Amino acid sequence: MRLRTKHLQTPRVTLCPQEYRVVVRIDSWESTSLYPNGHFVRVLGRIGDLEGEIAAILVENSICAAPFSEIQMSEMPVSSPKNPWKVSPEEAKKRLDLRDTHLIFSIDPKGCEDVDDALSVRTLPNGNLELGVHIADVTHFVAANSYTDVEARARATTYYLADRRYDMLPSVLSADLCSLLSGVDRYAVSVLWELEKESLETLRVQYTRTLIRSAYKLEYETAQALLDGDTSVVGDILELKGLEEGARQKKLAELVWAISKLTDIARHVRAKRDRCGALELEGIEIRVQLDDKRNIHDLIPKQPLEVHETVAECMILANHWVAKRISEDFPHQALLRQHPPPRQEFFTELRECASAKGFSIDTRSNKALAESLDRANDPSDPIVNKLLRSMATHAMSNALYFSTGSCPEEQFHHYGLALEKYTHFTSPIRRYADIVVHRLLMAATLRGTTGDVKDNIISNKDLEELCRHINNRNRAAQRAQKQSTELFQCMYFRDRSAESDERCVADGIIYSIRTNGVLVFVPRYGIKGAAYMKNKEGLVISCQGAGSCQWKPGSLHRSQHKITSTTTTGDSMTLSLFDHITVRILVQSSRCHAETIKLEIIRNAPHHTVDTEAAQRSLHVVKSELVKEVSQSAEEAQRAQDRARVEVMDEESREFCQTKGPSLYQLLEEIRELALLDVTEDIRT
């Protein structure tokens, strides 16, 4: 957006606005001017500089990155190497002590510090199984309406960017006292199920505050290797080092049995949800790999593992049972999470794309959609199914927090997970909604035993307002994470020569046809972008066979599932949906907005490398990543639909994001969306 400004002057320096990201405030907008008047607030950093661009992302999404205040830190328990925190004997008497009776362990990504959850499974004396989900007891340390609680409520969530995070709670809690690290005593809130030994059906469930000591802090890859019978990773398990061989083998056998049994239970639970119509959707998750100097070494797509599904199913199960309990005890003021069915018109592009491969997608219900997606599988190209699931994801409505007193019970349903009631209970270190749910659960289970638990229950009206705030903050967190990933993608390719660096050339698959080009997905880097077939000079792209492409005079003709480029000399090239092509990845700079990825078609044939061929083979044998709870932001969902409707991709129209139409309403809406919001030192609700 353009402002009427001169060189920006601060008390110390004079800045050229073309070189910096700056915060400005709009003061007025004269009716005779195309541009508003504004004044300078502060400098965020140089354009293209990592810290400056991250600062811009934070400001655009109103994310508070300020350190916690002294008064908030004064509420924290004392814990230091010389004076470590210890379990209170009085508190221990109030809790179920699982330290000597249960093998408890966590499975998390590499480098995870805020360990919210841990798992256990054991055989009971009667032969049945007991499944345990153990969640950090954050509410023991964060009293309702304390300074720390008010700050956590304002932040609402931990913000995860590609290379960093901004915590909802002080690190003494998030990375230490509330984190369920191995070998240390921790307070937890546990859900324990007794399962019938053969059918694995639930016989009894218990919600209670516990005292636990996690035995292992495992990484996903290590747990998967143990599940697959690969014991070569034993050296990576720190807790087994230094043990005698006999003791080590015994503990290893216990751990492998527990992981295997948890996986069996998770498969059973997932199968039940599948029968009810649970969706297995596809998201793109890229991990930024940094070197020792924090330079970008590589962009790595997340690989699906069955152990991901095992952990996720246990968490979904706990969230579902907690939702049932708190909604029964507090039918008008429980915090749940709903996912309404998507609008049928949003599935139009999915149905059309699937038909190009001869698949029929039934979207009348979640069960019909799930079964259709399972059948839409091309054995010769597994990426087709991944793309169709990705399109289904973009067609979804948003999952939102709500108060049970604000809507009828028939609207509680979670469409994506196929559950009648659902909430968030399993991540109180990083989600404020989970803290609210913990207080509700404790009020429900401790009813009649204590007098102050009801004082922490929020009224329906206040809970509705809180849910709106948390939903807004979650959307901001999702936008910020997406923007930071795109930033690192651009920085990765910006420092490489597009003409000579082989990493800038990759295989792409066409997933949408437009009037003047195609939309392409690059699996190697998780990139989606436009590849133009007609340039600004009116030339069209021409590729002969598997040779390189050139720009020549000609025309384009688009049909439903393909687009044809025909030169004036009679040469033609046709690209169809799901064709594999070779693209060059470039970075397109903008003085006013963030850099974007640009794709160029360089060959009308797949790009084969050792890595891509190995990835193709692995996709045949590795199940797609477990359904992620559908919580796409409203902005992203709307953007997906806008892309589906836009017929012509105009590069110049995006330079300053100026509106083309005469509508004043559209103009004001654009200003509202682009406005930079205040980020204060201490946000309060």
pLDDT of amino acid 16: 57
pLDDT of amino acid 593: 79
Bridge partners (DSSP) of residue 573 are 565
Return the sign of the alpha-carbon dihedral for residues 575, 581, 582, 583: positive
DSSP E strand boundaries for 515-648? 517-522, 527-532, 539-543, 549-558, 562-567, 572-576, 580-588, 596-603
Token pair in block for residue 335: 């915090």
Q: CB pairs under 8 A, 24+ apart, for 195-198?
A: 195/128, 195/129, 195/130, 195/131, 195/265, 196/128, 197/123, 197/127, 197/128, 197/129
pLDDT of amino acid 678: 35
pLDDT of amino acid 546: 59
Cβ neighbours for 410, distance < 8 A, ≥ 6 positions apart: none
pLDDT of amino acid 332: 94
8 A C-beta contact, residue 396 and residue 366: no
pLDDT of amino acid 682: 34
DSSP conformation class of 173: I
Do β-strands 549-558 and 539-543 pair in parallel, antiparallel, or remain unpaired?
antiparallel
What's the distance, Cα to Cα, between the start and end of the chain in Å? Answer: 29
pLDDT of amino acid 227: 96
pLDDT of amino acid 640: 44
pLDDT of amino acid 174: 95
- pLDDT block averages, 10 residues each, the chain of length 685: 49 59 90 90 89 93 93 93 92 96 95 94 97 97 96 96 93 95 97 96 97 97 95 92 92 97 96 92 78 79 90 97 96 96 92 92 93 92 90 90 95 95 97 97 76 74 97 96 92 86 92 92 90 92 77 91 91 92 90 85 83 46 36 40 43 44 50 40 32
Q: Which helix (H) or strand (E) holds 222?
A: helix 220-227
pLDDT of amino acid 675: 42
Token pair in block for residue 171: 């690190």
The one-letter amino acid at 612: T
